[in-house]
Amino acid sequence: MTGAAQQAVLDAHYMARALELARRGHYTTHPNPRVGCVIVRDGQVVGEGWHVRAGEPHAEVHALRAAGELARGATAYVTLEPCSHHGRTPPCADALVNAGVARVVAAMQDPNPEVAGRGLQRLAQAGIACESGVLEGEARALNPGFLKRMEHGLPFVRVKLAMSLDGRTAMESGESQWITGPAARSAVQRLRAQASVVLTGADTVLADNARLTVRADELGLDAQQTALAMSRPPLRVLVDGRLRVPLDAAFFKAGPALVATCMAVEEQYANGPECLRVPGDDGQVDLHQLLVALAARGVNEVLVEAGPRLAGAFARQGLVDEFQLFIAGKFLGSSARPLLDWPLARMKDAPELKITEIRAVGDDWRVIAVPVSPASV
Amino acid sequence: MTGAAQQAVLDAHYMARALELARRGHYTTHPNPRVGCVIVRDGQVVGEGWHVRAGEPHAEVHALRAAGELARGATAYVTLEPCSHHGRTPPCADALVNAGVARVVAAMQDPNPEVAGRGLQRLAQAGIACESGVLEGEARALNPGFLKRMEHGLPFVRVKLAMSLDGRTAMESGESQWITGPAARSAVQRLRAQASVVLTGADTVLADNARLTVRADELGLDAQQTALAMSRPPLRVLVDGRLRVPLDAAFFKAGPALVATCMAVEEQYANGPECLRVPGDDGQVDLHQLLVALAARGVNEVLVEAGPRLAGAFARQGLVDEFQLFIAGKFLGSSARPLLDWPLARMKDAPELKITEIRAVGDDWRVIAVPVSPASV
């Protein structure tokens, strides 16, 4: 192997470790991205760090602190381009320069318009050797929400649905409890915990008395990750165009929530939860506008847990980035409720999806499917 | 390892080879079971055989012929107890005795009431050491239809359905062509080829002009297996209680077929295809009676390829042993046709299935699901 090829293998190796560290922030970094950093000198890891929470030090700072004087002349591996701007913490590019690091390898450029290459530029200007693009695909997969928000001004929207093998979510009567088993419910708890926002509709809250909270004992995580997840629960957002859900609903009693509505708030929720007024026709909240507003608040990932009507509206409007379908080994039959309210007349109108993963979750199965081209009907 | 443990490992090894040979008869042995045989002497395989077609020599005979004089004192591994009765060929138990075999290891007893232990008994009486139960699970899985017919007087019923991710089989208009891709269609061709009977209903033949034939170029098998499969195509059975399908339908022109009907045959099909009169209410063929009649004709495996009505009827009546669901990555929407016509009111009535396998087939996925307890509604 040539020296350059060897260096590429080593770079990938240390970047993989930095990605592993970044994943520890799975439940807590939002609105910031998940980032990990490894500092290597003479073939030895001398410092590691990961970003825990917005407002706290970035991954690079943790790693530099751990390395101390050993950072001088070392290589820093970072899963995202070091920042060049003063946010709630000073720029990491400066910290790397001050520590005397000789080389910086980033997995990807930061699409944040306040950075966007300027972090690496700053480093290069200080005489530090810079590279970007090592394990970039993995690094992008780590932060789908942050990237989508920076690149498109929208959060990443994940729709979770629990269905039977024949594609039904509830009986005609609405009866729907326990379609899937405990392992699937635990997986859903983790999906909630990783999201910035868990979003539902008035139908679900009224029919199922849903609270959509994260419950520590159902997460199925170790003590440290559970504590992290519980320290930063997602914001629960209720889409309720006409303010049909009463203030004494379990949903509101379970903690802070945001209500997205078309109505003037004073009418009903004067002393109630925070309300976000969103335009809409016929008392139906404009979902695209809502997502834009959430992104503006720093929301990276939205988990939609709603009935066929609201989930169907997100799907019909091409607003879904990923479906997570939990499939139970049963038939609910031909009179049961559909997966999504989305009537289609012609086969050519049927939206295509790429199934990216199918995996057993307890006695159930999880299908991850991604729209091939966003439908815009 | 003790000598006995070592012998057990060797026995499993040679039986695995015998099973591999038996699988070569996947498309041809019906109404007989798929059987393979290996003859081993002094740690050397001296003969191998598998059953090709009813009326032709059994696996043991092929293997003994290959072994010749070397069979004397050898061990014969057979995936099914050697037969003890004169069928279209003389009993294999006698052939093994005459060849001077010292030991016979069978994977399982033959449930055929004409054998049922008498083959092994015959061997033991001749002083041959006998064993049964080596890799029995695998041997049973090889012949689900033969075993079900022998044990319950019914064929093994496999229902194939092609559906979208939201559990739909066609648009409301009936439009349904090409839900799944070429790899899935090829897998369906192999399911047809391995079946004794491919069964469909008048709705499917009338709506889709379906022929349900096996097409050599779509099997995706090598030349030898393709030739074998084409040499013994399945019988195509049309369930048409009221004889609605006209004689000039492509289905009838495509080759021999059997029509299961409640009507007196003379009325319509006087010079047409073979008809089987089956009782039924309201012109609906009694499906259980039909299966009993097919089993009596030696039908081991039935592949049901029908619309939601007929497939739903098999499901509702608890007559399905296995569902093969080919799932395409698309949504057909909430007005599209259901997987099965099977209205259910309460969650507690929802039939449970065990998903035994999910596997990618080209761009589509195949789910194999087995009813947990046969529904009998």
Each residue's pLDDT tens digit, B9-65: 999 999 999 999 999 999 999 999 999 999 999 999 999 999 999 888 899 899 999
More confident residue, A377 or A363: A363
Q: Is B122 annotated as a binding residue?
A: no
Rg of chain B over Cα atoms, rounded to whole angstroms, equals: 23
CA of residue B17 relative to chain centroid, distance:
21
For helices B59-67 and B92-99, angle between their N-to-C axes, nearest 10 degrees: 20
Residue B180 has pLDDT above 80, yes or no: yes
> Of the ranges A11-20, B79-88, B163-172, B288-297, which one carries the lowest mean pLDDT score?
B79-88
pLDDT in tens, B311-341: 999 999 999 999 999 999 999 999 999 999 9
Rg of chain A over Cα atoms, rounded to whole angstroms, equals: 23
CB contact residues (below 8 A), chain A span 273-312, against chain B: 308, 312
Beta carbons of A342 and B330 less than 8 Å apart: no
Beta carbons of B350 and A330 less than 8 Å apart: yes
Q: Please state, in angstroms and as integers, the Cα–Cα distance from residue B195 to each residue in A375, B13, B155, B235, following that order.
A: 40, 29, 10, 8
Residue A270's contacts (CB-CB under 8 Å, 6 or more residues apart) are: none
pLDDT value at residue B83: 85
Nearest to B339 among A167, A358, A365 (CB): A167
The CA distance from A324 to the nearest CA of chain B, in Å, is 11
pLDDT value at residue B376: 43
pLDDT in tens, B107-138: 999 898 887 888 888 888 989 999 999 999 99
State whether residue A325 sits within 8 Å of chain B by CB: yes
**Domains of chain A, CATH where assigned:** 3-142 (3.40.140.10), 144-371 (3.40.430.10)
State whether residue A357 sits within 8 Å of chain B by CB: no
Give me the interface pTM, i.e. the ipTM. 0.85
Residue A54 — pLDDT band, cuts 50, 70, 90? confident
pLDDT in tens, B238-273: 999 999 999 999 999 999 999 999 987 665 566 778
For range A306-316, the mean pLDDT? 95
Beta carbons of B358 and A358 less than 8 Å apart: yes
Residue B295 — pLDDT band, cuts 50, 70, 90? very high
Burial class for A87, CB neighbours closer than 10 Å (0-12, 13-18, 19+): middle
State whether residue A365 sits within 8 Å of chain B by CB: yes
Please tell me the distance from the alpha carbon of residue A19 to that of residue A38, in angstroms, as a whole number: 9
For range A152-181, the mean pLDDT? 91
> Of the ranges A34-43, A209-218, A281-290, B174-183, which one carries the lowest mean pLDDT score?
B174-183
Q: A–B: how many Cβ contacts below 8 A? A: 154
Amino acid identity at B223: A
HEC string for chain A: CCHHHHHHHHHHHHHHHHHHHHHHHCCCCCCCCCCEEEEEECCEEEEEEECCCCCCCCHHHHHHHHHHHHHCCCEEEECCCCCCCCCCCCCHHHHHHHHCCCEEEECCCCCCCCCCCHHHHHHHHCCCEEEECCCHHHHHHHCHHHHHHHHHCCCEEEEEEEEECCCEEECCCCCCCCCCCHHHHHHHHHHHHHCCEEEEEHHHHHHHCCCCCCCHHHCCCCHHHHHHHHHCCCEEEEECCCCCCCCCCHHHHCCCEEEEECCCHHHCCCCCCEEEECCEECCEECHHHHHHHHHHCCCCEEEECCCHHHHHHHHHCCCCCEEEEEEECECCCCCCEECCCCCCCCHHHCCEEEEEEEEEECCEEEEEEEECCCCCC
CB contact residues (below 8 A), chain B span 153-192, against chain A: 163-168, 171-173, 175-178
- CA-nearest residue to B339 within chain A is A166
**For residue A10, how many other CB atoms are within 10 A of its CB?**
15
Beta carbons of B334 and A347 less than 8 Å apart: no
For range A40-66, the mean pLDDT? 92
Nearest to B330 among A330, A341, A353 (CB): A353
pLDDT in tens, B186-240: 999 999 999 999 999 999 999 889 999 999 999 999 999 999 999 999 999 999 9
User: Contacts of residue B323 in chain A, CB cutoff 8 Å?
Assistant: 165
For range A227-248, the mean pLDDT? 94
SS3 B235: strand
Catalytically annotated residue among B20, B56, B60, B218: B60
Residue B163 — pLDDT band, cuts 50, 70, 90? very high
The CA distance from B221 to the nearest CA of chain A, in Å, is 26
Q: What percent of chain B lies above the pLDDT cut of 70?
A: 97
Residue A267 has pLDDT above 80, yes or no: no
State whether residue A345 sits within 8 Å of chain B by CB: yes
pLDDT value at residue B87: 74
Contact criterion met (CB below 8 Å) for A300 and A143: yes
Please tell me the distance from the alpha carbon of residue B112 to that of residue A104, in angstroms, as a whole number: 74
Nearest to A345 among B171, B176, B315 (CB): B171
Residue from B257, B350, B57, B265 nearest A169 by CA: B350
Q: Which two tokens stand for residue B309?
A: 């009505």
SS3 B91: coil
pLDDT value at residue A239: 97
Instruction: Cite the active site residues of A.
Output: 60
Contact criterion met (CB below 8 Å) for A195 and A159: no
Contact criterion met (CB below 8 Å) for A77 and A18: yes
CB contact residues (below 8 A), chain A span 191-250, against chain B: none
State whether residue B71 sits within 8 Å of chain A by CB: no
- Structure-token match 């090592």, residue found: A134
Pick among A316, A334, A359, A372 to test the B interface (most B CBs inside 10 A): A334
User: Contacts of residue B367 in chain A, CB cutoff 8 Å?
Assistant: 165
pLDDT value at residue A231: 94
Nearest to A347 among B171, B334, B367 (CB): B171
State whether residue B343 sits within 8 Å of chain A by CB: yes
Q: Is A153 annotated as a binding residue?
A: no
Pick among A165, A331, A344, A368 to test the B interface (most B CBs inside 10 A): A331
Q: Is B226 annotated as a binding residue?
A: no
B31 preceded by a cis bond (ω within 30 of 0): yes
Residue B93 — pLDDT band, cuts 50, 70, 90? confident
Please tell me the distance from the alpha carbon of residue B130 to that of residue B142, in angstroms, as a whole number: 22
Angle, alpha carbons A341-A347-A348 (nearest 5°): 105
pLDDT value at residue A376: 43
User: B214-218 long-range contacts, Cβ below 8 Å, gap at least 24?
Assistant: B214/B189, B215/B189, B218/B182, B218/B185, B218/B186, B218/B189
The CA distance from A235 to the nearest CA of chain B, in Å, is 29
Q: Which two tokens stand for residue B182?
A: 């070429």
User: Contacts of residue A315 in chain B, CB cutoff 8 Å?
Assistant: 331
For range A126-141, the mean pLDDT? 93
The CA distance from A161 to the nearest CA of chain B, in Å, is 11
Please tell me the distance from the alpha carbon of residue A304 to that of residue A210, in angstroms, as a whole number: 13
Please tell me the distance from the alpha carbon of residue B64 to that of residue B101, in angstroms, as a whole number: 9
User: Contacts of residue B176 in chain A, CB cutoff 8 Å?
Assistant: 347
Q: Is B158 annotated as a binding residue?
A: no
Pick among A172, A332, A339, A347 to test the B interface (most B CBs inside 10 A): A347
User: Contacts of residue B312 in chain A, CB cutoff 8 Å?
Assistant: 334
pLDDT value at residue A283: 83
Q: What percent of chain B lies above the pLDDT cut of 90?
A: 73
